[in-house]
Structure 1
C-alpha cells in the first residue's frame, strides 16, 4: 500500500487511540514512525529529521522561564492588582480577566499554562465580587486564546515554522488580530447569555489588601521586559532568551530550578515533537497531497475557509490544537491555495482559530479546569450543578465554532487583512 496513505491512516489511528486510551498522541506517532521505517525500510536519519530542534528549544526555553516566574508568585500578584483596578465596577471584572488573560499569554508562556492560571484567579475573584464565576473563567480564557499567536509564544513558533515550510512569511500578527476579534465577539455573547451586568449585591467580599512586589518579583518583571524587547526588537531567539533570563533568575535566587523543570509541560512538547516526526514522513511520502485532494472534493473557493474552520474545531474537540490540529491541517494550506484560489494565510488563520476557540468542551483541558475550579467552591453543586455546567461548556464551544464559521464564510478575515 502507498506509504503516504498508510502514514495518514496511522496518524488518524494515533489520534483515535490517544483519545480512547488517554495516551500521548506524539509518543504514539513516534512509535508508528518507527514501524513505518521498519516496514518500508526508511532511512533512520529521514525519520529523525522530523524532530525540530529549533522548535524544541523555543518551547522548552519559554515554558522554563514562565515556570520560574509563576512559581515565585509574580503572575498571581500581577493579576490580582489588575483586577483590583475596577474598584466598585465589579461587572467589568470579566473583561479585566479577558485583558489579563491576553497579557499573561501574549508575553511568552502561550495558552497551555495560561489556560490553567487564569481560571484559578478568575473563579474565586468572581465569587467574592458576586459575579458569575463560569462566565468570568470562560471570558478570561478567551482572552488567553486571543494572545496565543503573539510572536513570543511557543504556539506562534509552531505555526511560523509550519508556514515557512510552505513558503509563507510566517507572520502571526494578522492571525492574532483575527483570533482576538473572534474571541471578543464570543466573549460578548457569553456575557449577554449570563447577564454579566447583574451582580449579586448580597455578596460583600472584603477588599484584599495586596502586598507590594518583592525584589524577586520585580526581577521577574524585568526579565519579562528583557524577553519582550529582545525578541520583538532585537531578533533574539525566544527560546534561548528564555533560558538566559531564567538562568539569571535562578542564580539570583528568584526561583527554584527543580520545580521549574518539573513544571515544564513535557507531555505537550512530546506531543508536538512526535506528531512532527510522523508528519515529516507523511510530507515526504506524498500524504499531504492525498489530504489536499480529499479536501478539494468537498470544498469550493467560497466554502473552503468555512469548511476548514469547522474541521479544525471538530478535531480540537478530541485532540490538542497545538499538538495535532495545527501540524495536521496547516500543511494543506498552500496546496488548497494553489488549487482553489483561496488565500493560504487565511486558511492558516481559520485552522488556528478553529483549533483554539472551540476548546471549552468538558473533555478538553480548558473545560475540565473550569469545571474543577467551580466544583471547589462552597455549595457548588447547588449553585452550579455539574450536569448543567457540562452542557453550558459544550454550548460555548459550539457558539465559538458557529461565530468562526460565519466569519469565515462571509469573509471577515479577508477584511482584516489576513
Structure 2
C-alpha cells in the first residue's frame, strides 16, 4: 500500500478514536504523527514533530487568547461591547451583520484574514456571551464575512489567485471571482443566521449593559439588565492602556502585517507587567485544550503534506476524462486540504493542477478558479483551520466543546457541499 494512502488512513483512525473515546484529538494526532511518520515512513522524528509543529499558529492562539483574557478581566471588552450596542441603538439583530460587514471590509482592504479574525473574533464572542446570542452564529458571521471579502482583487487571497493564474498562462475576471465569493458567503451568512438563532433576535432591543432574559414591553422585546458590574462605568487607566494595546494590535497586524501572535503576546506581557494580578489570572484562561487539539492535528496534517498525500490525490485528477467531474474532484481536494491546512498554500498548489484540465476542455477558467477558490476558502470555518480555531479558542469555556463539534460538522459539511454547489453554479453552465 502506498505510504501516502497509509498516512490518509492514519488520519481517519485518529478521527475514529477521538469520536468514540473522550480523548483530546491533538494528543492522539501527535502520537499518530510519530507512529506513521517515523515508524512506518522512516521520516526522522525531528522532522515529523519539530518541523511539522505549527509554531506560528500556536503563538497566535496563545497570544490572542492571553491578551483578550486580560481585556475581559479588566472590563475593556465589556466596555467595547456596550459601545457596540449603543452604535446599533440596542437592536441585537444588527449585531451579527455588523460583524459580518466589518470583517468583510477589512479583508477587502488587504488585511490578512487570520489577523482580521484574531482581532474581531474575541469581540464577537463577547457580544454572544453578554447578549445571549449563540456563539456559533457570531463565529460564523465573522468567518463568513472575512471570506466574503477574502477574494476581492485587493485582498491577499484575491491578489494571490490572480497572480498564480497569470503565471500559469491563464486569464480570469477578478471582478467575477470576487462577486461569486461575495454571493456564496452572503448566502452562507443568511443560512447560519436562520439556523443558529438569528431570527429570534428580530425585535429584541436591549439597554446597556444587558444580558439574557427577554421580556416584552409595549410590544417590543427588551433584554433585562445584568447582575454583573456596570459595564459603562467609564475608562480607568487600565482600560485606556488595554484599548491602546488593542489599537496597536489592530494597526500592526492589519496595516503593517506584523506577526499577530508576537504582537498580541507583546501587548499582553506589557499589560501584565503593569498589573501582575490580572496577568496571572489570564494565563489560566488561555484555551490550552484547544491549542493542544489544533496544533496536534495540524502536525499530522503537515506530515500528510511531507509524504505527498495531497499530491497523490491531486494526480488522480489528470486521469479523469470528464471535465466537470475533474473540476469537482479538484474543488473537493481544495476544500479537504484547506479545512486543515493553509488556504493560500492550497490555492497556490492546486491552481496549476487546473491548467491541464482547462487546456483539454471548454471549461471557463474564471468559472473553475472561482469554484476552486470558494471551495477552499469557506471551509476555514473548520475548527482545525487557523480562523476556525480562533473562534473556538475565544468561545466561553463551558460552550467551547460544543462549538468545536458544531464547527467541525459545519466545516466538514462544506467540504462536500461547497464543491458540488460551486461546480453546479459556476462550472457546469460553461462546460
TM-score tier by shorter-chain length is 0.5 to 0.7
Aligned to 2:69: 67
Aligned to 1:333: 350
- 8 Å Cα contact 1:25/1:274 also seen in 2: yes
Aligned to 1:283: 305
Give ranges in structure 1 of 5+ residues lacking alignment.
Answer: 124-132, 152-158, 374-390, 413-418
> Do residues 45 (structure 1) and 46 (structure 2) align?
yes
1:73-92 correspondence runs (5 A): 73-87=75-89, 90=91
Change over 3 Å in CA distance of 1:277–1:96 after alignment to 2:
closer
Aligned to 2:4: 4
**1:43 CA drift (Å):** 1.7
- 8 Å Cα contact 1:227/1:245 also seen in 2: yes
Aligned to 2:110: none
- 8 Å Cα contact 1:143/1:183 also seen in 2: no
> Do residues 96 (structure 1) and 124 (structure 2) align?
no
C-alpha separation in 2, matches of 1:186 and 1:150? 10
1:140-289 correspondence runs (5 A): 140-146=138-144, 182-188=184-190, 194=199, 197=202, 201=219, 203-205=221-223, 210-253=232-275, 256-289=278-311
Aligned to 2:21: 21
Q: TM-score, normalised by structure 1?
A: 0.64
1:94-133 correspondence runs (5 A): 94-100=93-99, 107=116, 109=118, 116-123=125-132
C-alpha separation in 2, matches of 1:400 and 1:8? 16
C-alpha separation in 2, matches of 1:45 and 1:234? 33
Change over 3 Å in CA distance of 1:291–1:407 after alignment to 2:
closer
- 8 Å Cα contact 2:301/2:341 also seen in 1: no
Aligned to 2:172: none
Aligned to 1:411: 426
- 8 Å Cα contact 1:142/1:187 also seen in 2: yes
- 8 Å Cα contact 2:339/2:382 also seen in 1: no
**1:250 CA drift (Å):** 1.1
- 8 Å Cα contact 1:102/1:147 also seen in 2: yes
Deviations 1:282-336 (A, max 9, x none): 22333222222456778965466767777888x89xxxx8657979977873464
C-alpha separation in 2, matches of 1:65 and 1:396? 27
Give ranges in structure 2 of 5+ residues lacking alignment.
Answer: 104-113, 150-155, 167-174, 205-215, 359-364, 400-405
1:339-354 correspondence runs (5 A): 339-341=356-358, 347-354=372-379
C-alpha separation in 1, matches of 2:412 and 2:330? 16
C-alpha separation in 2, matches of 1:401 and 1:182? 15
Aligned to 1:381: none
Change over 3 Å in CA distance of 1:56–1:195 after alignment to 2:
closer
> Do residues 356 (structure 1) and 381 (structure 2) align?
yes
- 8 Å Cα contact 2:70/2:268 also seen in 1: yes
**1:71 CA drift (Å):** 2.7
- 8 Å Cα contact 1:110/1:148 also seen in 2: no
**1:7 CA drift (Å):** 0.9
**1:242 CA drift (Å):** 1.1
TM-align CA RMSD: 5.1
Deviations 1:219-258 (A, max 9, x none): 2111111112222333422221112111111122287223
**1:120 CA drift (Å):** 1.3
Change over 3 Å in CA distance of 1:183–1:116 after alignment to 2:
same
**1:49 CA drift (Å):** 1.7
- 8 Å Cα contact 2:33/2:299 also seen in 1: yes
**1:354 CA drift (Å):** 3.2
**1:100 CA drift (Å):** 4.1
Number of aligned positions between the proteins: 354
**1:17 CA drift (Å):** 1.9
